[in-house]
Structure 1
Amino acid sequence: MKDVTPVTDGWRLRLADRLPDGSAARLPAGLAERLTGGAGLPAVVPGCVHTDLMAAGLLADPFLDRNETEAAWVGHADWTYETLLPPRDSRHERSDLVFEGLDTVAEIRLGGAVLGATRNMHRGHRFDVTGPHGAEATPLTVAFTSAYTEAERVRALVGERPNAYPEPFQYIRKMACSFGWDWGPTLVTAGIWKPVRIEHWSTARLARVTPLVTVDGGAGRVEVRLELERTATGAERELTARLRVGQTLVETAVPAGADRISVTAEIPDPALWWPRGYGGQPLYDCEITLLDGSAELDGWQRRIGFRTVALDTAPDARGSAFTLVVNGTPVFARGVNWIPDDALPTRIDAARYRRRLTQAADAGVDLIRVWGGGLYESDDFYDACDELGLLVWQDFLFACAAYPEEQPLRGEIEAEARENVTRLAPHPSLALWNGNNENLWGFRDWDWEQELAGDSWGEGYYLGLLPRVVAETDPTRPYWAGSPWSGSWDHHPNDPGHGTAHSWDVWNRTDYTDYLDSVPRFVAEFGWQAPPAFATVRRAISDRPLTPGSPGMLHHQKAGDGNGKLARGLAHHFPVPDDFDRWHYLTQVNQARAVATGIEHWRSHWPACAGTIVWQLNDCWPVTSWAAIDGDEREKPLYHELKRLYADRLLTVRRAADDSGALAGALVNQGALDWSGTAVLRRVAVDGEILAEARLPFTAPARSVATLAVPPRLRPAAGSDRELLTFEADGLRALWFAARDKDFDYPAPRWDIAVTADGDTAQVTVTARTLLRDLLLQADRLDPAAAADRGLTTLLPGESVTITVRGWPRPTAEAAAAALHCVNSAVRDAAPAHRAEAAETVQ
């Protein structure tokens, strides 16, 4: 069997002796001399330059205040990693130096010899270092050129291409968002970002293993495609490939000279893998062993799952569908978009992936879209998705730019695609390959076509190269050319009647109630911003006073006119908040309300709409953004709202498409069992008096939506500021107000609070004495380590809610009361000024 030796110890980092033009001017005074002389700094591998500089106390945390700007020089400099490679004392014929990932442009030298060069963060590299078995260690050097330098070199070769941001990310195969995004910092990393090892082997090794798992008629089939590399002495040897799937064992002869072969195992009646909410997630060990006679040469092991996945794009009366079908069952995808979980991705470990993805599953999510400006994540990510039943929509790594199709990029892109399709093929969670993010749309709508004047821009990748790679490498999964994409140039790329749609005009230009105006076939991106949790803001930003427009807050708002859009979004619904705390609370409310408006509407139109993917689940640093979980891993109110929105059963009230004022209650049932019962509809006065009531029987079959017409006598009068409609069934409730919050006559909020504690866990029970709209206990204001199990809750007079708070060592009712917010106060406290302003407008 081959021997594997990790190369993790003794690494040192130094700044290159010659700096790229202009870099020296960006360095803090005296730092160049410290980093270029002597023995350099200790370096962690895997790791990156930023984290090593931070560990040495030479770089302030770029996530705090405006330190990001002071770290810009790091990405413009060249860096060198050095270590000593131990003596290659091995009985094997061949020794390979294997880098799983280098970020990004590097020259590798062993002793005085150049082994090779790399220019792609998204693939691995292997170098033959077979040589005399000496007794001395050999210097190993990895010299990184600034990603900016390489990007500008390639731009000069291929010509200018448009993109959505000012940085040159489309000219280099590197995590695009490291150059900054409308939610992320500009931290252009460099380093040995994945493990390094020496592999010693003889005769032959497994160069590539691709298991293709299919199910037909209840029988499972695993075809494992093998690519071998042989030594000179092993070239003409007949070998054996042994495949084990669960308890099934198959052996196949590998003819002399052959370097490609398939081994197939038939598995009768396998237990099927399902997305969460549809069934279990059984996984089978799949092992390949390469043998020379009885001697084991190499091995490979992963876990696989048996399931079928297809994409239904059939034409119908509304246009054409976009529905994922798993094991023959159409799925409404309850999705979230995923960005890299840290702007310095080498800090993301298996435990962190598990925490974040468990949060997603706990919120009812069943699909994660890995967005195209980030990474092909580590196997730890996909392993967790396999176990949690989270379907994965994987973008190829192209986003928001015109990408040149010439060399040196084209060859790198094909190699990257083949490597990653092969690497991810074992994972049953992986359900869809997607060609790009917004580039087909950008060509049509963002004035690229005229600017390009016939130059390549990526279409050949999305409609040619990538579907061919998927078809050749992993034909068991569907491919889609982009998001948004209508499936053909016969329709606009973002045509809501065909394929996938992105809904951004609402956030950018209008109000979230405009989500109600359309029913796209599949909403792959939509969202609304809010700041991070209060404790996260306080940790990351030292502004005094802290205001929405204070310098640190503005630096941690990367979206164009982001604060202006937040303000305009609030103005549709609330009086202008007069302090930071109220602004912070109301923007959190507006984010949750916006996303709820879209999801409730679109889910209620299943199967015409077959999925929503919220932008976005997570953040990569502390920032005002669209995320449900902030950069310090704290859950925003949106996260808790997703638990309701993505539950198997959901109630909502929807208005008729015409101007009749008619209302209907929708009962969304995504569960496997029929849902029957009696729905209770009430017209309720603001003081809690029931003005009218109806009890209506309903049946919502499994995986369907049932609707009930709301009797006219139960509809609050148009614009009513003192009545609301409640719609209840089996402990669920939906509310409908005829007036916007700023026009509703909320009572002064009154409640009782009781607190009980067990250690650092407390139960906070709030009993409403009046209507309380969107009550929120901000637990992190009680203690930065504290977290609550609930978000926004509306209570009618006399109702109670119990909130569990963990991580609160000294609980008191007084402290809990101080951390409670509700819409009533936000509207009433501003009401006199707001109403005077409204009266002036009318006059």
Structure 2
Amino acid sequence: MTITKPAYMTLSGWEFKACKDEHWLPAAVPGCVHTDLLRNGKIEDPFYGTNEKRLQWIDKEDWEYRTSFAASPEQLSRANVELVFDGLDTYADVTLNGQPILSADNMFRSWRADVKELLQEENTLRVRFRSPIQEDLPKLRALGYALPAANDQSEAGGLGDEKVSVFARKAPYHYGWDWGPRFVTSGIWKDVRLESWSGIRIRDFHIRQDQVTAEAARLTALVEVETDEAWSGELRVSAEGRQWSRDVRLEAGSHTVQLAAELESPRLWWSRGLGAQELTDFRAELVSGGDVHAQETVTTGLRSAKLVRQKDAHGTSFYIELNGVPVFCKGANHIPNDSFVTEVTYERYRHEVASAAEANMNMLRVWGGGIYEHDDFYRLCDEYGILVWQDFMFACSMYPGDEAFLASVRSEAEENVKRLRRHPSVVLWCGNNEMDTAWSHYDENAGWGWKKKYSPELREKIWRDYEAIFHEILPETIRALSPETDYWPSSPMREVTGDANQHATSSSPDGDIHYWGVWHNVEPFSNYKVHIGRFMSEYGFQSFPEEKTVETYAAEEDMALVSEVMLSHQKNGRGNMLIKEYMDQYLSEPKDFRSFLYMSQVLQGEAMKTAIEAHRRRMGFTMGSLYWQMNDCWPVASWAGMDYLGRWKALQYYAKRSFRDVMLSLDENDGKVEIHGVSDLQVPLTGTLELRLLDFQGNVLRQWPASVTLAANAAGHLKSLAREEVLEGADPASVVLTARFEGSEGTTDLKEHYFLPVKDLRLEEPGVRITRRTEGEQVLFTLEADRLAKQVWLSSEAEGHFTDNFFDLLPGSPVTVAFRKRSDGGEPFAAGDPGSMQVRSMYDFIKSSAGAQEADRQAEEQAL
């Protein structure tokens, strides 16, 4: 047998045009039509102003890409030559030298074509993309009825009310969502390459983790081999200085060879906060006659991860157990970082994942309306210890069940499960987002009202199609390809019992919960403390990005809550008015629109603090808190804690404090102030708890010291004080209760509790002073105040974030922060100088204080 090392050639030099046009333009691959049009100056910035509306014609057109390439004599001589498309978006016909080689219909999988007989010294490759809208409209008409698609904004494209997104295996959010624009893309969104080889090669290498403990890891190496002739030799697998081998005899064709392996005292992979993110390299080699004929390596983390659902006194548990340790999952829901996914760089992925780790998170949920993310995203989660809850890409819709569609789903699932199973961060697969609860098959009085639109016969058919995907194809794929990973059919969902399930409510005793009473139903923030389930996988509150980001899409004349531009960058119906309604309840009136931007962020942070800490106080019953959402796909008012440009909103800082591994939480109910302690650490902590009542000038009115113990990996009640006992006649509008924990293991935390909403506090000009000093490359800022400075906001010229921000600054309690500059070098954040900066607090943004400042200015002028 002749053995030659496989050769890979990435194709470049692409051009594109609308099929109806004659003139070709340069194209970027990976890329899409929208970004190529923008780079060629054919359209304006899709994100600016109301340009989104003017670009809806693009998805009604057919588009074509082409390139030419030379094949070397060596490539032409190989026994096997394939063209490989890692990703085509979405309906594409491909020809090589004028001959058709494949037709694609699924964005979420790769495509291969044997081109050995067609390849020439000089070659022309063309990819013709059919409009996803024009392609799927006939499917809708042939079906005879519309399937529910809650966030499909097809009407934005000028086609009426037709909902066609459900027919395309394409990123659902491209059709519009209540935080994202409608840009239905087409294009070559991943690499294209020519693969040539002869003899034998390894197509896939996976280390199945059959049983992993601190004592030993029992593993099975699964090596997918392809050979064009009979082959005999030895399979060798090595790692950590150990080697395992077996003899192999193969006929021509594809085979999966298994080899058992065991490592004693393995280096375990842990999530952030629980231990090191140890990664292990494995190498597979096919050896014959002393020569290595094929080899492959894979890096993974050795760990045991499972979803624990056991009956208990409350119902059924729902938590991730990692290496035998129950993990309280802290984090957020991840959406694609851009409407045009090929614009997301490695640095942008790293910035998001590193920001999650900096904010004390340990989980991101990859939501089912986006994409199966780039390998970089999962590698970064592996490195930073961020657990991944991975949805399959189905959301807020019901889907067809014809044979071709189901076959496409099966291929998509198999490829993505195989691709992602090597990542220790991926600990749970979920079938879809909100479809079980929306349809609510077994409860006629629940759901989103979808069933009422259909006859009983159609209801049964739609549900059978649902079950074929989410209760058959997807779990079967997981069991076959990644049996060590658990599967959950839908989020949210309650217990699955036989052929029935119970509807997920906002306080279910089992399953996971999406609670949206606060926001959509305009319920008070206090309801976050009432509606708590076993795992809170979605809840959220909106805010605007900071003014510097808003200025990237709006001109000065657009700076108004109900301007056309501001409404076009708010995709949630009444969103802007909801923010204002809640602001009227909890905060003072902002003095202008730019102040409104700041106060919306504070409002969002306060809402999410209330929710997160309520969940963490119930640790044991509740074992997960993932707010909606981590990031944005364009500059917009949304639920994100980090805006499109990666700038931390107030929420990101609030989350960092509320997700601390050791945290105090103060909560007032029925005339009592309760002090709770939460610890994610695996050892108990002893320490001192000091409670102090201060006025806004920093005077200590009374204090209550105590010795306390925090149990390991648990939440507990530390102390209770009667409101009247604390105040003793003090003005509740002018005092604050502080709680400070100083514990063993170097742990500390500080929390404040106010007795009235912020709008009712007597805020005065705080007299903030800032001192700057340099320690090595680090620039430190110490802030002090004469009177309470509420929600101090440090804004910087340079891109980055401060180690703390949007905090309360009390007289006599200076706060020192450092600036973390965003970096595209070896580290995501580096010590650096923020450049010019501003220090402002709530007092600077409220209308009443603005009037007071103006009165003071006029008085000074009169005095002079």
Which residue number corresponds to residue 857 of structure 2? none
1:451 aligns with 2:453: yes
Deviations 1:752-774 (A, max 9, x none): 34455799986443321112221
CA 1:809/1:697 → structure 2, altered by over 3 Å: closer, same or farther?
closer
What's the counterpart of residue 70 of structure 1? 54
Q: In the alignment, does 2:609 pair up with 1:596?
A: yes
Supply the distance in 2 between the matched residues of 1:352 and 1:289 (Cα, whole angstroms): 35
Provide the rounded CA distance (Å) in 1 between the counterparts of 2:696 and 2:33. Answer: 59
Cα distance in 2 between the residues matched to 1:390 and 1:811 = 32
Aligned twin of 2:825: none
What is the aligned partner in structure 1 of residue 9 from structure 2? 6
Contiguous gaps of at least 5 residues in structure 2: 155-163, 441-446, 743-747, 822-831, 853-864
Change (3 A) 1:687 1:809: closer
Structure-to-structure mapping, 1:198-217, within 5 angstroms: 198-217=194-213
Alpha-carbon separation, structure 2, partners of 1:543 and 1:403: 44
Q: For residues 780-837 of structure 1, what are the alpha-carbon distances to aligned partners after superposition, in whole Å with 9 as ceiling and x for unaligned?
A: xxx364643322111222332234457798967xx63xx41225862743899xxxxx
Supply the AA of the counterpart residue of 2:677: L
Indicate the residue corresponding to 1:688 in structure 2: 698
Cα offset, 1:599, TM superposition: 0.7
TM-score by length of 2: 0.88
- Which residue among 36, 40, 45 is the counterpart of 2:29? 45
Partner of 1:835: none
CA distance in 2, matches of 1:535, 1:382: 31
Deviation at 1:273, TM superposition (A): 0.7
CA distance in 1, matches of 2:398, 2:850: 48
SS at match of 1:720: coil
How far, CA to CA, are the matches of 1:361 and 1:382 in structure 2?
14
- Cα pair distance change 1:768/1:672, threshold 3 Å: same
Q: CA deviation at 1:476?
A: 0.7
Aligned residue type for 1:623: V
Distance (Å, rounded) in 1 between the aligned partners of 2:66 and 2:663: 57
Deviations 1:497-552 (A, max 9, x none): 21110111211121222101132111001111111122111122224251222222
Instruction: Choose 395-404 or 670-679, whichever is displaced more.
Output: 670-679
1:81 corresponds in structure 2 to: 65
CA distance in 1, matches of 2:629, 2:5: 43
What's 2:39 paired with? 55
Q: Which residue of 1 aligns with 2:483?
A: 475
Aligned 1:727-742 pairs, distance under 5 A:
727-730=739-742, 731-742=748-759
Q: Give the Cα–Cα distance (whole angstroms) in 2 for the partners of residues 341 and 572 of structure 1.
A: 33
Question: Which residue of structure 2 aligns with residue 822 of structure 1?
Answer: 842
Output aligned runs, 1:486-501, within 5 Å.
Answer: 486-488=494-496, 489-494=500-505, 496-501=508-513
1:69-122, Cα deviation, whole Å (9 max, x unpaired): 222222221111111242363332111111111111101111121112010010
Q: Supply the distance in 1 between the matched residues of 2:834 and 2:375 (Cα, whole angstroms).
A: 41
Q: Tell me the distance in 2 between the aligned counterparts of 1:827 and 1:579.
A: 8
Task: Give the match's secondary structure for 2:629.
Answer: coil
- Paired with 1:303 and 1:407, the residues of 2 have a C-alpha distance of 37
1:462 and 2:447 equivalent? no
Q: SS where residue 190 of structure 2 aligns?
A: coil
Change (3 A) 1:552 1:196: same
Matched residue type, 2:602? V
Distance change >3 Å, CA 753–CA 161, structure 1 → 2: same
Native 8 Å contact 1:395 1:433 kept in 2:
yes
What residue number does 1:25 align with? none
Task: Name the SS of the counterpart of 2:88 in structure 1.
Answer: coil
Please state how far the C-alpha of 1:154 moved relative to its aligned partner: 2.9
Q: 1:177 to 1:724 in 2, by over 3 A?
A: same
Residue 255 in structure 1 maps to residue 249 in structure 2: yes
The one-letter amino acid paired with 1:710 is S
1:553 aligned onto 2:547: no
Residue 33 of structure 1 corresponds to none
1:605 alignment counterpart:
618
**For the Cα contact (< 8 Å) 2:212–2:302, is it kept in 1?**
no
Partners of 2:605 and 2:363 lie apart in 1 by: 19
**Contact 1:170–1:403 (CA under 8 A) maintained in structure 2:** yes
* Cα distance in 2, alignment partners of residues 292 and 51 from structure 1: 49
Contact 2:395–2:435 (CA under 8 A) maintained in structure 1: yes
How many Å separate the matches in 2 of 1:687 and 1:274? Answer: 45
Match of 1:503 in 2: 515
Deviation at 1:238, TM superposition (A): 3.3
SS at match of 2:353: helix
Q: TM-score, normalised by structure 1?
A: 0.90
Q: Is 1:377 matched with 2:373?
A: yes
Runs (5+) with no aligned partner, structure 1: 18-35, 833-843
How many residue pairs get aligned? The number is 799
- Counterpart of 1:704 in structure 2 is 714
Greater Cα offset, 337-346 or 750-759: 750-759
Alignment of 1:780-799 (within 5 A): 783=797, 785=799, 787-799=801-813
Alpha-carbon offset, residue 245 of structure 1: 2.6
Q: Aligned letter for 2:495?
A: G
What letter matches 2:687 in structure 1? Answer: G
Aligned to 1:723: 735
Amino acid at match of 2:9: P
The 1:760/1:806 distance shift into structure 2, 3 A limit, reads: farther
CA displacement 1:578-626 (0-9 Å, x = unmatched)? 4112211110100111111011111011111101011111111111111
Separation in structure 2 between the aligned mates of residue 694 and residue 679 of structure 1, nearest angstrom: 8
Q: Would the aligned equivalents of 2:558 and 2:564 in 1 still touch at CA under 8 Å?
A: no
Distance 1:262 1:758 in 2: 55
Q: CA deviation at 1:410?
A: 0.7
For residue 54 of structure 1, report the CA deviation from its aligned partner: 1.4
Aligned pairs for 1:178-577 (under 5 A) are: 178-217=174-213, 218-231=215-228, 234=229, 236-257=230-251, 259-291=255-287, 293-294=289-290, 296-444=292-440, 445-452=447-454, 453-457=459-463, 458-488=466-496, 489-494=500-505, 496-509=508-521, 510-544=523-557, 546-577=559-590
The equivalent residue for 2:100 is 114
- Corresponding position of 1:160: 146
Between 1:691-700 and 1:745-754, the stretch displaced more is: 745-754
- Cα distance change on mapping 1:439 and 1:133 into 2, 3 Å: closer
Whole-Å separation in 1 of the counterparts to 2:685 and 2:725: 24
| Partners of 1:693 and 1:487 in 2: CA distance | 47
